[in-house]
Amino acid sequence: MEPIYYKISMARLALYAMFAAIIAIAALAAVPRSLAQQFQVGVSPPVISMGDVARGESRVVKFFLVTASSNEMLVSLESQRGTLDFFTKDEYKPLMGQYSEQDASGWINFVTNPVELKPSGNQVRTRGGFITGWQEVDFVLNVPGDAEPGYHTVTILPKPSVPVDLGPQGVNIVAVVSTNLLFRVAPGEAARKAEVLDVTSEPSGNRYHIRTFVKNTGTVTISCQADRITVSDSSTSRTFKSSLDFIGPGETVALSSYLDSSELPAGSYQVGSDVSCATVSSSKQASISLTGASVAIPPLAGQGGQPSLPLYLIAIPIAAAIAYLIYKRD
């Protein structure tokens, strides 16, 4: 007969294994921040204002990468399309009416990329805090001959490469701050204008594809969204939004939105579409017919897209139950 002490030890072993797994998961999820290596990259200045530039002109621009970290880093530089968020600051709000949303990120050419950023060994006190290292960065702004008039922005984002093997720390914290390039292409009038031409509907599977046609009647690229589309009749209505799209001067773009066929019965409806392009807006009323879409089938119970539990939250109680049964049996 098998010795009783052997059975007890196996049960205890199962319990010990379960508790060890729980402790390991908790430890991985809560590595102390004090043990983490920090990699921080900032810029100076945060906004590079260049004033007026002419079409076909090239300029060399400089700024500094700065860090408060004690680690060497290889920093890649990436130019990104500017956004309207830049104009949320009071000092730049008056410029939004003359802003071109033309993508100018491709006009940037970095002289050296990536850039090596090393700590200097000395701390320098600045208005933003202490820095331990800095590196000058040069790039060339090449303004094409077909550049739109008005103000343009480009975001320059530092992307530090951090070591894969961090030793006992096991975790790294990466913090970066971008800089924004601001300039005005002159001469020329920057006019932001738009007009809603029509609103249409057509079946698309079990949905209706609602399209709002917007024409850019100005001289610069703008971003537009139908932020309120209402489909209604005398007894019911539905309200929703469209996609956001960039529209170049003279272009007409269809802003897309979708309505499930289960939302409204087939029939004739009035539709109103209110389009916002940040500094300008336009609207349109029209009649549409919602017909031809297949019937939307609601999901079965348990198949409605509910988020599933992580595997370990399922495995832990199962392991606990098995270990308990083994222990009780012995």
In 10 A of CB 319, how many CB atoms? 18
Q: What is the mean pLDDT of each run of 10 residues along the chain (330 residues)?
A: 41 45 39 51 93 98 90 91 95 97 98 90 61 88 98 96 58 75 97 98 94 98 98 95 97 97 93 97 96 64 49 56 56
Of 13, 95, 85, 83, nearest to 51 by C-alpha is 95
- Residue 15 near residue 148, CB atoms below 8 Å: no
Give the pLDDT score at 72.
84
Token reading at 260:
């499930």
Please check whether the two domains, 37-185 and 194-290, share a CATH topology: yes
Domain spans of the chain?
Answer: 1-30, 37-185, 194-290
- In angstroms, the CA 134 to CA 117 distance is 7
In 10 A of CB 62, how many CB atoms? 10
- For 194-290, CATH gives 2.60.40.10
Give the pLDDT score at 275.
98
Strands 58-67 vs 133-142: parallel, antiparallel or unpaired: antiparallel
Give the pLDDT score at 64.
94
DSSP string covering 187-230, please?
A: SS-----EEEEEEEEEEETTEEEEEEEEEE-SSS-EEEEEEEEE
If 0-12 CB within 10 Å is exposed, 13-18 middle and 19+ buried, where does residue 320 land? middle
Which class is 37-185 in CATH?
A: mainly beta
